[in-house]
Amino acid sequence: MGEFQPADAGQMNFYLSALDDLVRHKSDNPSVGIVLCKGKNRTVAEYALRDLNKPRGVATARLPAALSKALPSPDELQRLLDEADEA
């Protein structure tokens, strides 16, 4: 358990959306999310949790071929990370 991070709000929103879609009955009250953490920066928490009801989107992007060839593949990157952990 650590300090509150803005990503915690997004993860909580993900789980609440799944819960509401897959488990919650129409007669149930809305789900409530609680993030338990060691501490928080009040300003960071406020901005992270504010306006979670705003519409959002997800987009994918493609790298230029020259740049893509210069970067390691996901498998190669994982191998390098695993090696670094073992060292």
Token pair 């306006």 is found at 51
Q: By percentage, how much of the chain surpasses pLDDT 90?
A: 20
Closest CA to 58 of 4, 10, 20, 12: 10
Distance of CA 50 to the CA centre of its chain: 16
Query: CA 54, CA 40: separation in Å to the nearest integer?
Result: 23
Contact (Cβ atoms closer than 8 angstroms) between residue 35 and residue 8: yes
Mean pLDDT score, 16-34? 90
Question: Is residue 8 predicted with pLDDT exceeding 80?
Answer: yes
Mean pLDDT score, 14-24? 91
Question: Is residue 55 predicted with pLDDT exceeding 70?
Answer: no
Mean pLDDT score, 30-48? 87
SS3 for 54?
Answer: coil
Contact (Cβ atoms closer than 8 angstroms) between residue 9 and residue 40: no
Per residue in 64-82, pLDDT (tens digit) is 888 888 878 888 888 888 8
